[in-house]
Structure 1
Amino acid sequence: MTSLFGRAAETGAGGLRERKKARTKIAIQSHAVRLFREQGYAATTVEQVAEAAEVSPSTVFRYFPTKEDLVVHDDYDPVIYAAFESQPPELNLIQAWRAAIREAFAQMTPRDVEIQLDRGRLLLSVPELWGATLHGTRETLEIITDLSAARVGTSPEDPALQATVGAIFGVLLTAALNWVRTEDPKILSTLDAALVRLDEGLLR
């Protein structure tokens, strides 16, 4: 699974091409989110996004097959997944996800944070985007479950694993929704504290 960690480590011509693609993709999404916020999602066309990003509409669709993908797609999920897989074996599941999330947040610039907040606002306020998000949420839960199962050496269908992953996912989803709603500047520490409480079994 390609991630921002992988791109940063690449060298040579292939690495340069991948970094250029990554920059183009980020620029397209950044302009799309800005235009959607300024003009409204329905009123903004893919052609306008392409013009703002100084690419062709076909290039936009190459990176984002649908208009919804311009908002729904999240490059930071693969970053977290890659960080999770690199965590030392002595950490339990909750501790490994905590560490992975901290590493992913460390990669974000203030502009990245702003874009993520704007994405969140759009996802919660535009009905067609909310519908697309539900599919992505299910897919994310499945990936987290599979990665967690591989780490502890059990089946993704294991009821105990599913209960643990469900609790972790619930904490993450609640924190994300609250972040978009309140713009909590201490989101990382808030999320980390919630995961600590979960790790300690203090679910209150």
Structure 2
Amino acid sequence: MNDRPTLRERKKLKTRAAIRKAAYRLAAEEGWEAATTDRIAEEADVSPSTVVRYFPVREDIVLTDENDDVLEARLLARPAGEEPLESLRAVVLEAVGTALDQEPEETRLRARLMVEIPSVRARFTETTAETGRRLARALADRTGRDADDLEVRIFTAAVLGALREATLYWAEQDTSGDLLPLLHRTVDTLKAGLTPHAEPPAHP
């Protein structure tokens, strides 16, 4: 069986990549408001209708990475008996690590846009919810629960919401430092719960 993409599929992937690169370049150099559909089309050497056909929601150009299928498959492939929280930690943080390695500047810009641009942040929340539904289905399969089980939905949404909040925190700190340790810290917090800080020692 030949799994190599057809010429048509390769052209589509090339066009999507060109549109995304143009949007990132405009947003980085001139700001998100400058990254209009017409400007993106001009930079990517395609028509505005092509941009809209590939990305009906403009914010998706800087958010969409088509990883949901991969995340779901990797979650289903995690070792049997592994705690669901650890399974999510493994697959989501691996995806983040890959993005940081392959597209470090784009990943940082995406995080900054989520903090600075309400429409990008709102759309990111929507796409995270869509990802959550896919991962909840995989977790349900692994735990023998129903895909629409309330506990599964709450658990998955809580984990992804916490990781999203950690990413926003990272962006608010001007993306200084490493994101992955923050995400591990986030999962550890979910695992341990929130405990009070120890009282500072009294001075004589």
Band of TM-score, shorter chain? 0.7 to 0.9
2:143 maps to 152
1:127 maps to 118
1:113–1:102 Cα change, 3 Å: same
**Is 1:33–1:115's contact at 8 Å kept on the other side of the alignment?**
yes
- Given the alignment of the two structures, is residue 50 of structure 1 paired with residue 50 of structure 2, yes or no? no
Per the normalisation by structure 1, the TM-score is: 0.76
User: d(CA) in 2 for partners of 1:87 and 1:71?
Assistant: 29
1:4 maps to none
Q: Which moved more, 1:87-96 or 1:177-186?
A: 177-186
User: d(CA) in 2 for partners of 1:102 and 1:19?
Assistant: 28
Q: Which amino acid aligns with 1:186?
A: D
2:4 maps to 12
User: d(CA) in 1 for partners of 2:157 and 2:96?
Assistant: 22
User: d(CA) in 1 for partners of 2:81 and 2:157?
Assistant: 21
Deviations 1:25-66 (A, max 9, x none): 233112202212332333333222122223333332232123
Q: Which amino acid aligns with 2:181?
A: S
What's the % identity of the aligned pairs?
Answer: 33
May I ask how many residue pairs the two structures share in their alignment? Answer: 193
**Is 1:93–1:148's contact at 8 Å kept on the other side of the alignment?**
yes
Q: CA deviation at 1:163?
A: 4.2
Which secondary structure does the structure 2 equivalent of 1:12 belong to?
coil
Per the normalisation by structure 2, the TM-score is: 0.76
- Given the alignment of the two structures, is residue 138 of structure 1 paired with residue 140 of structure 2, yes or no? no
For the pair shown, the structure with the greater C-alpha radius of gyration is: 2
**Is 1:71–1:123's contact at 8 Å kept on the other side of the alignment?**
no
User: d(CA) in 1 for partners of 2:28 and 2:78?
Assistant: 37
**Is 2:100–2:107's contact at 8 Å kept on the other side of the alignment?**
no
User: d(CA) in 2 for partners of 1:79 and 1:13?
Assistant: 17
Gap regions ≥5 residues in structure 2: 196-204
**Is 1:83–1:103's contact at 8 Å kept on the other side of the alignment?**
no
**Is 2:133–2:153's contact at 8 Å kept on the other side of the alignment?**
no
**Is 2:59–2:120's contact at 8 Å kept on the other side of the alignment?**
yes
1:36 maps to 27
User: d(CA) in 1 for partners of 2:87 and 2:14?
Assistant: 29
User: In structure 2, which of residues 173, 180, 184 is the aligned counterpart of residue 192 of structure 1?
Assistant: 184
Q: CA deviation at 1:146?
A: 2.4
Q: CA deviation at 1:195?
A: 1.9
**Counterparts of residues 71-110 of structure 1 (less than 5 Å):** 71-108=62-99, 110=101
Root-mean-square deviation (CA), in Å? 2.8
